[in-house]
Structure 1
Amino acid sequence: MAFARSALSLVFLMLLSASGALGITVVPGVCKPSTLSKDFKKMVQLRPNVFFHWKIVGANLVGAIEAKAASKVNTGWISLGFSKAGKMTGSDAIVGNAGGGVQAYLMSSISKSAIKPSPNFKITAATVTATAASTIVKFTRTAKGNVALNLAGKNILLWATSKGGNSKVFNDHTPTNRGAVSINFGTCK
């Protein structure tokens, strides 16, 4: 229950900080081969020492958000949102806490009370592993959801991380620990 309350606070602040009202710009992702494991094919760097790894398996996205220890996120949280227009409202989000927990949410508005576990956006095989070297949140999601994935085309992903140090402190967003990236899962451009 404590994780759920903390995650809701995180998601609310993620929503506010990554919204278009704060001037976030969607940038194109630069794809490279994944360095995480053979379980993933491609990756994009979200910020220094924070990466999104993935592969497409049938109609599923198998993904991992990796924060290396130098990013100071290995004791905090990582979130990844799937957006239609680069804004949190209407987006699906995955939040992983280094304290142990991964949850899927629907961002129906910028009201904290409107952020709830998603009835339509499902993740499976969701794990979080935190070591001295990194925090890794792994998940599988279908192309279906509140925000359907285009497995052969452009997708907008929103991301945010804690500054680390305390997984319950979620009010530490700055332009350096949040952003948006456009990825074409089909061509990786």
Structure 2
Amino acid sequence: MDSPLDIGTHLAARLRDLRVRAGLTLDGLAERTGVSRSMISLIERGESSPTAAVLDKLAAGLGVTLASLFAAQESAAASPLSRREDQRVWRDPESGYTRRNLSAPGFPSLVELVEVVLPAGARVAYDTGSRAATVHQQIWIIEGSIMLALGEDTFRLGTGDCLSMRLDRPTVFSNPTENPARYVVALATDPRAGLS
């Protein structure tokens, strides 16, 4: 499991790399995402512990998934095998939810898998609507239950339920129960269908 320092260092370098590859300045990414230039700079220097909501805005503006911010850079030499001890784990400082990247680090794939544990009473709101790329997502509940608001639609998901969705509207995950919920998120990005 990554220490908070390790994951913070990785996030800083990964965000900076993705921004530079996208040809964006700090000001350009700030304008595109609504996240202040100073906040982006703090994250890129590893001096801030951003929330899931802030990271989602940055990912959306860069045309990648939130999971991509925790992944290794793609490489043809990367192993297709993802051992549990190599899977990055991150904890949202605001809600306490944890996310584990299940997919093989750096292995080129159209699909990303993430395991999430949403604590009892936790709520995570992603207010990002339009994105620089179309992201398809499926959520499969392994244990517990959650409420998921997708724009105007609300779904109660229990153990074994699977919801398919596109990330094109504000989304809120909440766990109104007294027990943690654990689920797997599968994501696929289609950059050709994104917004410019």
Greater fraction of residues in helix: 2
Q: TM-score, normalised by structure 1?
A: 0.30
Q: TM-score, normalised by structure 2?
A: 0.29
Max radius of gyration: which structure? 2
Greater fraction of residues in strand: 1
